[in-house]
């Protein structure tokens, strides 16, 4: 089966970067959204924000969150600062590069909805 490339503003779609619908990085997207909305968030605060954003449907465990935060930091999408108070809390912020990546991820989600998910729903309802 030939791969269909969707054109948007004269460029190949972000969809061509991903082979399957399962490869959409939802955890990463949720973390970046929460950091954009609430900079200087601790890991615990991010877990609460993600639960709130998803109406308690996504309940990240620290074993999922912290490795992803380390990856994001390594990629330059997030930075962290260790506070000087008694509790030594690590606070996370989204970088400019992280904001660009978030925009790309949101565009990808929108394309997935309109080009893959909505046609599936429409086919079912016919």
Which has the higher per-residue pLDDT, 121 or 1? 121
DSSP the chain: -PPPPPEETTEE-GGGG-SSGGG--HHHHHHHHHHHHSSSB-HHHHHHHHHHHTTTS----HHHHHHHHHHHHHTTSEEEEE--STT--EEEEE-HHHHHHHHHHHHHHHHHIIIIIHHHHHHHH-
* CATH class assigned to 12-125: mainly alpha
- The domain locations on the chain are 12-125
Of 120 and 73, the one with more pLDDT: 73
Burial 76-92, CB ≥16 within 10 A → b, else e: ebbeeeeeeeeeeeebb
Pick from 30, 111, 110: which is nearest to 78 by CA?
30
Cα–Cα distance measured from residue 115 to residue 93, given in angstroms and rounded to the nearest whole number: 32
Q: What percent of the chain has pLDDT over 70?
A: 83
Supply the pLDDT for residue 1.
Answer: 37
Mean pLDDT for the chain overall: 86
| Residue pLDDT, tens place only, 40-88 | 999 999 999 999 999 999 999 999 999 999 999 999 999 999 998 888 8
Q: Is the pLDDT of residue 105 over 90?
A: yes
Work out the average pLDDT over 101-115.
Answer: 91
């Amino acid at each position: 089966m030939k791969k269909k490339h969707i054109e948007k503003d004269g460029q190949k779609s972000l969809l061509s970067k991903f082979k399957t619908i399962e490869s959409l990085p939802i955890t990463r997207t949720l973390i970046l959204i929460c950091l954009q909305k609430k900079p200087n968030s601790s890991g615990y605060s991010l877990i609460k924000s993600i639960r709130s954003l998803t109406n308690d449907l996504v309940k990240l465990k620290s074993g999922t969150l912290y490795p992803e935060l380390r990856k994001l930091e390594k990629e330059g999408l997030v930075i962290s600062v260790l506070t000087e108070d008694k509790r030594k809390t690590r606070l996370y912020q989204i970088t400019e590069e992280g904001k660009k990546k978030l925009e790309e991820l949101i565009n990808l989600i929108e394309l997935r909805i309109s080009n893959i998910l909505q046609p599936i729903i429409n086919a079912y309802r016919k």
